[in-house]
């Protein structure tokens, strides 16, 4: 076994380790877990994913486990998770390794029935068998594991283990029980008394429970810190039996069919840090008592039927958001506030910024943010900004557009804000059509002004693949009769243009006039939406060319 591990480690990427006793040299721990690619935020590029996948496939173990493993008589820790044993059965001889305290065989693609011989591992503290290809006829063998503290059987088929609860109830030391996706349903087997006084984590998610009366024993576990009942078919009101479980820090009731209002007693869970009620049929309003959840880090009430105003007691966007230097993913919803200035000083590692369809108002400063990944998203559309919009440079070449039509397709399909600074030289894209509120325009055609020449693309727009543009002076710009607001950016080229290019807007400054002032106020909180032209809606669309300046106007 040791030679096998050393050989594999020398030929392929290997993330495992072997721990030996520092005096006797006996092998005590085998950490042979492989690490599949993980895309936590959903924005890993295809190249990154493929690279991680290839490394994972080279590092996994497979085949048949040799009984010579029994020669490691001092082994107390064995982790074979996330390997590929091609559906072979878990070896029965593992039940002879009675010194084991930690055994993790999860997601290793074992198959078939779990051998009852594992019940001989009387020193076991941790057991993880989670795998979708495994099943059991019963769990009686668990009674031989009196020291077990952590049991994870997620996705193991327990549909035939009718006495699963009485069998697990024989584990007096259990701290953590995870039985997600185990095909549990209906009434749980009757048990005279539940002996889970030490249990702090319980996961019964993604089973087939329909009525909370089927799991009444759960509500007597007053020491629980984490309870996950998501992904079942619970109906009716959120069970009042939960109200005495005030030690909870994590409560997940998402993906059920609860259809009551949010009960007032839930707002008294002062220790609750994570509350997930996502995707139910909850009704009514959100009480101002939600401010009593003083320990809350995450509250998800989305995809319900709640109405009314979000309580102001939830507070504004904190100034401390500017300290989140590693932030890559941000989604804001239901916000009536300004964006703190500290936010715009964050690093340029964002993959996803979505402020759309809020009521955010105030000034957007010169934004240094660069969306650098090939799947980056910036959406600040449908808000109530009323100040000037300054220049914003975003690397456009890395986004992989081969035609100009792809840009328009991206903008219209996402219906969001896209700002791009493209190194094509001195050219300006002018989108024809009357601009309505939030600059929703029909894409009848696109007028390209290149070195004084007017090129109009309408039906042939999709054929535009490359624009060869020289670095020259801007010769023509017409922004008249739109809804642009703000000071005309200082530029010797802009000031040299005729004032008629800017009339019919709320613009000021040369060449319109030399001394003008304009104020902005907090907007009306009614957020009007623009009309849709021909099924295409673009809230704002601005393309600036690398000409030595960036034109920045605010559109209202």
CA distance 271 to 275: 11
**Which CATH number does the domain housing residue 120 bear?**
3.80.10.10
Contact 532, 412 (CB under 8 A): no
Determine the pLDDT at residue 543: 33
Between residues 496 and 418, the one the model is more confident about: 496
Which residue, among 162, 153, 161, has the nearest Cα to 134 in the 3D structure?
A: 153
498: in domain: no
pLDDT band at 206 (very low <50, low <70, confident <90, very high): very high
Of the candidates 142, 150, 151, the residue with the CA atom closest to the CA atom of residue 121: 142
* Domain interval for residue 66: 2-199
Calculate mean pLDDT across residues 81-102: 96
Question: Residue 142: inside a domain, yes or no?
Answer: yes
Q: What are the C-alpha distances in Å from 185 to residues 164, 268, 341, 463, 530?
A: 11, 31, 52, 58, 48
Query: Residue 495 falls within a domain, yes or no?
Result: no
Cut 0.95: pTM above it: no
- Residue 194 domain flag: yes
Catalogue the E-assigned strands of 301-451: 329-331, 352-354, 377-379, 418-422, 427-431, 446-450
32 within some domain: yes
Of the spans 334-338, 364-368, 463-467, which averages the highest pLDDT? 334-338
Specify the residue for token string 């440079």.
393
Measured CA to CA, the distance from residue 540 to residue 522 in angstroms comes to: 20
* Alpha carbon distance 215, 530 (integer Å): 49
Q: Which three-class secondary structure state does DSSP give residue 431?
A: strand
Residue 122 above 90 pLDDT?
A: yes
The yes-or-no verdict on residue 205 having pLDDT over 90 is yes
Residue 407, pLDDT above cutoff 80: no
- Residue 157 maps to a domain: yes
Asked whether residue 127 is assigned to any structural domain, the reply reads yes
Within a domain: residue 264? Answer: no
In whole angstroms, what is the distance from residue 179 CA to residue 322 CA? 39
pLDDT at 330: 73
CB crowding 486-500: b at 16 or more within 10 Å, else e: bbbbebeebeebeee
Respond yes or no on whether the N-terminal peptide bond of residue 511 is cis (omega within 30° of 0). Answer: yes
Residue 517 CB contacts under 8 Å (≥ 6 apart), including other chains: 508
pLDDT at 399: 44
Per-residue pLDDT, 49: 82
Q: What is the tally of structural domains in the chain? A: 1
Q: How confident is the model at residue 71 (pLDDT cuts 50, 70, 90)?
A: very high
Residues whose CB is less than 8 angstroms from the CB of residue 48 and which lie 6 or more positions away in sequence, other chains included = none
């Amino acid at each position: 076994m040791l030679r096998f591990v050393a050989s594999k480690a020398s030929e392929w990427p290997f993330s495992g380790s072997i721990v030996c006793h520092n005096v006797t040299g006996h092998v005590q721990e085998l950490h042979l877990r492989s690490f599949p690619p993980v895309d936590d935020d959903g924005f890993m590029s295809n190249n990154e994913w493929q690279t991680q996948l290839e490394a994972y496939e080279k590092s996994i173990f497979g085949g048949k486990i040799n009984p010579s493993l029994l020669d490691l008589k001092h082994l107390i820790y064995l982790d074979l998770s996330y390997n590929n044993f091609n559906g072979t059965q878990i070896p029965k001889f593992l039940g002879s390794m009675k010194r084991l305290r930690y055994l993790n065989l999860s997601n290793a693609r074992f198959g078939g029935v779990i051998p009852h011989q594992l019940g001989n591992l009387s020193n076991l503290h941790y057991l993880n068998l989670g795998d979708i290809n495994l099943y059991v006829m019963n769990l009686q063998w668990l009674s031989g594991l009196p020291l077990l503290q952590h049991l994870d059987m997620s996705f193991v088929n327990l549909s035939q283990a009718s006495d699963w609860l009485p069998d697990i109830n024989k584990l007096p030391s259990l701290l953590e029980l995870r039985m997600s996706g185990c095909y549990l349903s209906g009434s749980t087997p009757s048990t005279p008394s539940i002996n889970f006084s030490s249990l702090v984590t319980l996961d019964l998610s993604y089973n087939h429970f329909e009525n909370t009366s089927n799991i009444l024993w759960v509500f007597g576990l007053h020491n629980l810190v984490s309870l996950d009942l998501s992904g079942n078919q619970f109906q009716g009101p959120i069970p009042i039996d939960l109200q005495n479980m005030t030690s909870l820090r994590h409560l997940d009731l998402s993906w059920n069919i609860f259809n009551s209002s949010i009960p007032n007693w839930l707002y008294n869970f002062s220790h609750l840090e994570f509350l997930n009620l996502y995707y139910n049929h909850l009704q009514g309003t959100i009480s101002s008592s939600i401010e009593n959840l003083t320990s809350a880090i995450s509250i998800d009430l989305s995809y319900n039927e709640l109405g009314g105003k979000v309580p102001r007691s939830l507070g504004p966007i904190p100034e401390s958001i500017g300290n989140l230097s590693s932030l890559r993913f941000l989604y804001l919803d239901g916000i009536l506030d300004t964006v703190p200035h500290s936010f715009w000083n964050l690093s340029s590692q964002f993959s996803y910024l979505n402020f759309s369809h809020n009521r955010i108002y105030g000034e957007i400063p010169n934004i240094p943010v660069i969306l650098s990944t090939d799947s980056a998203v910036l959406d600040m559309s449908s808000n109530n900004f009323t100040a000037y919009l300054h220049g914003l440079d975003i690397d456009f070449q890395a986004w992989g557009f081969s035609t100009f039509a792809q840009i328009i397709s991206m903008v219209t399909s996402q219906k969001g804000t896209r700002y791009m600074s493209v190194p094509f030289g001195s050219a300006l894209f002018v989108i024809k059509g009357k601009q309505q509120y939030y600059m929703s325009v029909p894409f009848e055609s696109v007028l390209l002004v290149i070195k004084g020449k007017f090129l109009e693309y309408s039906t042939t727009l999709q054929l535009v693949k490359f624009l060869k543009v020289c670095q020259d002076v801007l010769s023509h710009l017409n922004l008249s009769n739109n809804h642009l607001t703000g000071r005309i950016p200082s530029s010797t080229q802009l000031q040299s243009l005729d004032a008629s290019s800017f009339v019919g807007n709320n613009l000021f400054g040369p060449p319109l006039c030399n001394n003008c002032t304009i104020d902005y106020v907090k907007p009306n909180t009614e957020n009007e939406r623009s009309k849709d032209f021909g099924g295409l809606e673009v809230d704002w669309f601005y393309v600036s060319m690398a000409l030595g300046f960036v034109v920045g106007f605010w559109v209202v």
